[in-house]
């Protein structure tokens, strides 16, 4: 696989939903992508994910006296918010890793995709956030201009993700670009999702309810 390039964060669609104003689920695709060509999947491994580099930062005031940012930077009275993420890394808990990967594979297999780690059409990556994070998103569906899908700049908003948020990304194996991504936030009251298999399964199920494509000829409708 080619070196994964720095890539802009896909705008997460606000067509997601919330349960009791606590659990938020979002999902969105890369515009103008033909998902019919994706039939197989494999996991993005550590040696590949290490090539990802975060590049967009924003410093916001916080109450604590000092916070350590990425790349060893220490910003007094500031919190570094990463809008373009490069930290698609596993949980430190092997049981949770296994639960998450098994749940994702079950969702993809049920949608007609076949696992092919040696030569997949798309890679799967994930992250369980252990702290609050902000990402950019959009507040409206894309609009059609001719045969192309486009988004309006005025629809850009930010989402605040809670600790324990589960984030799933699908990447084109040839171009290394993210073609779809989604997250579930607020399932855990704190960060206990990292050690709760049931909550991980719930998060994956909710995320893939936003994924409307299949790897076979059958329709999701």
pLDDT per residue over 33-77, tens digit each?
Answer: 999 999 999 998 765 544 443 323 333 344 443 444 444 433 344
Rounded (5°) CA angle 180-181-187: 150
| pLDDT given at position 176 | 86
Of 201, 10, 12, the closest CA to residue 107 belongs to: 201
* DSSP 3-state of 33: coil
The residues with which 152 forms a beta bridge, in sequence order, are none
132 versus 50: the higher-pLDDT residue is 132
* DSSP 3-state of 130: coil
Distance CA 52, CA 49 (A): 6
* Residue 209, C-beta contacts closer than 8 angstroms, at least 6 positions apart: 25
- For the entire predicted model, the pTM comes to 0.67
| pLDDT given at position 47 | 59
Domain edges within the chain: 12-48+87-208, 53-84
14 burial (CB, 10 Å; 0-12 / 13-18 / 19+) is middle
Output b/e per residue, 99-138; b: 16+ Cβ within 10 A: bbeebbbebbeebebeeeeeebbbbbbbbbbeeebebbbb
Minimum mean pLDDT among 117-121, 123-127, 135-139: which range?
Answer: 135-139
What is 12-48+87-208's CATH topology?
Answer: Double Stranded RNA Binding Domain (3.30.160)
Distance CA 159, CA 25 (A): 11
The answer, yes or no, to whether residue 182 has pLDDT greater than 60, is yes
Please give the structure tokens belonging to residue 165: 């948020």
pLDDT per residue over 100-117, tens digit each?
Answer: 999 999 999 999 999 999
């Amino acid at each position: 696989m080619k070196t994964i390039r720095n890539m802009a964060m896909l705008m997460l669609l606000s067509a997601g939903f919330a349960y009791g104003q606590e659990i938020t689920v979002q999902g969105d695709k890369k515009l103008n992508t033909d998902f019919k060509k994706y039939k197989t999947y494999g996991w993005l491994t550590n040696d590949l994910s290490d090539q990802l580099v975060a590049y967009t930062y924003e410093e916001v005031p916080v109450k604590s006296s000092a916070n350590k940012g990425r790349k060893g930077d220490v910003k007094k009275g500031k919190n570094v918010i990463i809008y373009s993420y490069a930290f698609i890394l596993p949980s430190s808990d092997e049981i949770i890793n296994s639960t998450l990967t098994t749940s994702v594979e079950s969702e993809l297999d049920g949608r007609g995709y076949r696992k092919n780690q040696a030569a997949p059409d798309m890679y799967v990556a994930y992250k369980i956030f252990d702290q609050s994070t902000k990402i950019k998103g959009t507040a409206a569906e894309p609009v059609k201009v001719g045969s192309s899908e486009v988004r309006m700049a005025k629809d850009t908003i930010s989402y605040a993700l809670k600790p324990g948020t589960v984030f799933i990304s699908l990447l084109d194996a040839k171009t290394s670009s993210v073609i779809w991504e989604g997250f579930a936030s607020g399932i855990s009251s704190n960060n206990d999702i990292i050690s709760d298999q049931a909550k991980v399964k719930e998060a994956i199920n909710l995320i893939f309810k936003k994924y409307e494509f299949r790897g076979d000829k059958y329709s999701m409708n």
